Chain A
Amino acid sequence: MVNGINLFFQFLDSFGFIVLAAIGLAVIFGMMGVINLAHGELIMIGAYGTTLVANAGAPLVLAMAAGVLAAAVAGLIIERTIVKRLYHRPLDSMVATWALGLALTQVVRIIFGNSLSGIGLPFGAIRFGAFSYSMYRTVLSVVALALLVGAYLVFTRTEFGIRARATIQDADTARAMGVDTDRMYTSTFVIGCALAGLTGALYAPALSIVPGMGSTFLVEAFVAVVTGGTSVLLGTTLAAGVLGSADALFTNLYGTFIGQVAMLILAILILRFLPTGLSGALEDLRERIGGEN
């Protein structure tokens, strides 16, 4: 039985999760063409930073800021020492980031043990008749949406965003026009890592804090990035919307497993029929309509 309110809350939950899982990966992949297989580990760093600082007694918001900072610093180091050398070798950057992820997980395990004690979920529940929802998970979807809007504004309305996009589209010309492309790459990578860190920070109260926790996000992240297609932010939004709806609807009707399967099958269909992804298809459509006018 489909219950509209339940469905809506489940959609919010699913949408928020997909956006937050994918956004860091999407920025780095879409803007730089680098597949960051250490994405999950950066999320983990964000969550560890948050949990450690919160357990030391700091307020949650401050702890989350610390988590984001930790991931951003890690991102800066990774970019400067590793990714920088591999910009024109996407497969090698995959191997390098995979190896890095492997080492990072184990280093964290050695230093902090097999788990950290968690921080409880803040806020209470929203009640609706016999049903109730975790307030915090609902807030996360709002944060996800705000993040998308914020990132969109940064990449379209600011000086930095224009330079960054110029670098992506044509690095040589951008350099000729006086853009420090090296710095653009670095900042984009760091922003992507900070976003991954933010995901970790936001989900730290909701998940088990273990070294391998990053892998929880990988499937949704990759699926969303692939189905989203060429235009990063638009793509992520569309992918999260479409996949989140499928997930929520089928989960509601037939349970969580069917929900996941429906989402993955939908992703494969999208890829077959819209090879440029959802955002690419939307742009084509827009052009066609624009062409007719």
Chain B
Amino acid sequence: MSDRLVSRRGFLSSSAVLAGTALAGCSGGSASSDDTIKIGVLEDRSGNFALVGDPKHKASMLAIEEINNNGGIDGKQIETFSPDPQSDNQRYQELASRAIREEEVDALWAGYSSATREAIRPTIDRNEQLYFYTTQYEGGVCDKYTFAVGPTARQQLGIVLPYLREEFGPDIYTIAADYNFGQLSADWVKVLANENDANVLGEEFIPLSETDFSSTINNIQEADPDFVMSMLVGANHTSFYEQKASAGLEVPIGTSTAMAQGYEHRRIDPPAMANIYAGVNYMEEVPTDSNTQDGGFVDRYFEKYPDAPYLNEEAETNYFSTYMYKEAVEQAGTVEQPEVIDALESGISLGSERAPEAPEGETIELDGATHHVDHHMWVMRADDQHNVEAVENRKIPEQFLSETVGCDLREEVETTQYTPVDYFEEAQ
């Protein structure tokens, strides 16, 4: 395993640079010719994240096809650069570099996990590349060039936790994946519990590779909470739900991760997901007109991809953010990135007169100061047949960066990620 030789990555990146500069030399700085716009879509279609990444790729392609069929953006057709990064962060780094330097994309969508986002952010920032990160995530990224348009942990937990507190009582037990997303989400549970007169009886962090939950189940039974908050992540952790059902644990569970992304309620045999409440901005079952009516988002998606298994949360975010980009370019009247970023920062809203509705709700707005979206959030409950119904919904703005941190990217250029521990006593 000793890599005896100096890395070849230098070669690759540098040859990319070489070719990139050469290209830039002839075309005078902008690759997209006057009548097309080039968009980079880097989403996983193989490897560990393919299950959740593939719908993102498909939804981006759907949005681009729709826009092109309706005359493009300001009359310009969209071209795509869409390789498969294979769930590999190193590949992401290479491909992001290539997208920027050789393909000279006008906007970039990339990555499922937070680790991927952090892996390519240095490249993004150095090249001042307009970048959309569309996964629901722990929150706190305040970055001039990054638009984190998925819902944050505070938004997702902020809809489901108060609902469960109201329905079942104040005692919470938290189980979360043992890495950045899980640990920060657990901090948010504490902050929100404090705001809603609830108490966290205990919290437990579980390594991503763990598949045995018998001790976790015992701990929950011992603590006897009114409900559990679960931020478990990935294929391994899915076995928690089957195991707790098999062990006869019947406590209600709130989650920001299960069902909406990896459609566990379709993959696992009922009734393992019964009484699970997901706080989400979108899942296929969200009952809005623009989503479920004839010719709505769901219909259009499955018409284009009849064999697709599910239309997930992140797919919707990829979809509507492509329309947000379209709005911004038309508002700016150019694809030059500084101008488009200015236009995005002026606050784009979907569902207004010009722009189409987002499938998740009538209107949603991009907040120019924080580059985050004020989402329409839903609590979705699965019953013992795994039918999913909406039990609560309302608009929730991004709060952490705007209110607590005071991030304003229109005023100050930053590329930071803030965490709740620096601001809340409860999260310490």
Residues of A within 8 A of B (CB): 3, 6, 9-10, 13-14, 17, 106, 109, 113-121, 123-125, 127, 130-137, 205-210, 212-213, 216, 219, 248, 251-252, 255-257, 259-260
> A207 near B211 (CB under 8 angstroms)?
yes
Asked if B216 is at the interface of the complex by the 8 Å CB criterion, the answer is yes
Question: Given A117-B268, A131-B221 in contact, is the A260-B242 Cβ separation under 8 Å?
Answer: no
Alpha-carbon distance A205/B307, docked complex (angstroms): 24
Q: Specify which chain A residues have a CB less than 8 angstroms from the CB of B51 in the assembled complex.
A: 114-115, 210
Complex partner residue of B215 from A113, A212, A256, CB under 8 angstroms: A256
> B221 near A132 (CB under 8 angstroms)?
yes
Asked if B205 is at the interface of the complex by the 8 Å CB criterion, the answer is yes
Asked if B390 is at the interface of the complex by the 8 Å CB criterion, the answer is no
Question: Given A114-B51, A130-B222 in contact, is the A252-B215 Cβ separation under 8 Å?
Answer: yes
> B248 near A127 (CB under 8 angstroms)?
yes
Stretch of B10-18, B42-50, B106-114, B150-158 with 4 or more beta carbons under 8 angstroms from chain A: B42-50
Query: Nearest residue in A to B203 (C-beta to C-beta)?
Result: A255
Secondary structure dominating the interface of A: mixed
Q: Specify which chain A residues have a CB less than 8 angstroms from the CB of B178 in the assembled complex.
A: 256-257
> B218 near A6 (CB under 8 angstroms)?
yes
B-side interface residues, number (CB < 8 Å):
42
Alpha-carbon distance A134/B246, docked complex (angstroms): 5
Stretch of B233-241, B339-347, B349-357 with 4 or more beta carbons under 8 angstroms from chain A: B233-241
Residues of B within 8 A of A (CB): 46-48, 50-51, 54, 178, 204-207, 209-212, 214-218, 221-222, 224, 235-236, 238-239, 242-243, 245-249, 266-270, 272, 307, 309
Question: Given A114-B51, A257-B178 in contact, is the A121-B245 Cβ separation under 8 Å?
Answer: yes
Alpha-carbon distance A123/B215, docked complex (angstroms): 19
Query: Nearest residue in A to B264 (C-beta to C-beta)?
Result: A208
Alpha-carbon distance A125/B270, docked complex (angstroms): 16
Total number of A-B contacts with CB less than 8 angstroms? Answer: 128
Alpha-carbon distance A135/B214, docked complex (angstroms): 11
Q: Taking the nearest CB of chain B, how far is it from the CB of A46, in angstroms?
A: 16
> A213 near B247 (CB under 8 angstroms)?
no
Q: Taking the nearest CB of chain B, how far is it from the CB of A83, in angstroms?
A: 22
Starting from the known contacts A13-B212, A124-B248, A137-B243, 20 additional A-B residue pairs (CB-CB under 8 Å) come to A3-B218, A13-B214, A113-B307, A115-B309, A117-B267, A118-B268, A121-B243, A132-B221, A132-B248, A134-B243, A136-B246, A137-B212, A207-B239, A216-B235, A256-B205, A256-B210, A256-B215, A257-B205, A257-B206, A257-B207
Alpha-carbon distance A132/B217, docked complex (angstroms): 8
Q: Specify which chain B residues have a CB less than 8 angstroms from the CB of A10 in the assembled complex.
A: 214-215, 218
> A256 near B204 (CB under 8 angstroms)?
yes
> B209 near A117 (CB under 8 angstroms)?
no
Question: Given A131-B218, A132-B217 in contact, is the A117-B212 Cβ separation under 8 Å?
Answer: no
Question: Given A6-B218, A115-B267 in contact, is the A125-B246 Cβ separation under 8 Å?
Answer: yes
Alpha-carbon distance A106/B235, docked complex (angstroms): 16
Query: Nearest residue in A to B216 (C-beta to C-beta)?
Result: A256
Q: Taking the nearest CB of chain A, how far is it from the CB of B66, in angstroms?
A: 24
> Could you list some 12 contacts between A and B, CB below 8 A?
A3-B218, A118-B242, A131-B222, A132-B249, A133-B217, A134-B214, A134-B246, A206-B242, A207-B235, A216-B211, A248-B215, A256-B210
Q: Specify which chain B residues have a CB less than 8 angstroms from the CB of A213 in the assembled complex.
A: 235
> A205 near B221 (CB under 8 angstroms)?
no
Q: Specify which chain A residues have a CB less than 8 angstroms from the CB of B236 in the assembled complex.
A: 207-208, 216
Alpha-carbon distance A124/B246, docked complex (angstroms): 6
Q: Taking the nearest CB of chain B, how far is it from the CB of A115, in angstroms?
A: 5
> A121 near B221 (CB under 8 angstroms)?
no
Q: Specify which chain A residues have a CB less than 8 angstroms from the CB of B239 in the assembled complex.
A: 206-208
Q: Specify which chain A residues have a CB less than 8 angstroms from the CB of B54 in the assembled complex.
A: 114
Alpha-carbon distance A121/B218, docked complex (angstroms): 18
Question: Given A121-B246, A213-B235 in contact, is the A14-B212 Cβ separation under 8 Å?
Answer: yes
> B214 near A255 (CB under 8 angstroms)?
no
Q: Specify which chain B residues have a CB less than 8 angstroms from the CB of A131 in the assembled complex.
A: 218, 221-222
Q: Specify which chain A residues have a CB less than 8 angstroms from the CB of B209 in the assembled complex.
A: 216, 219, 260
Complex partner residue of A208 from B207, B246, B266, B267, CB under 8 angstroms: B267
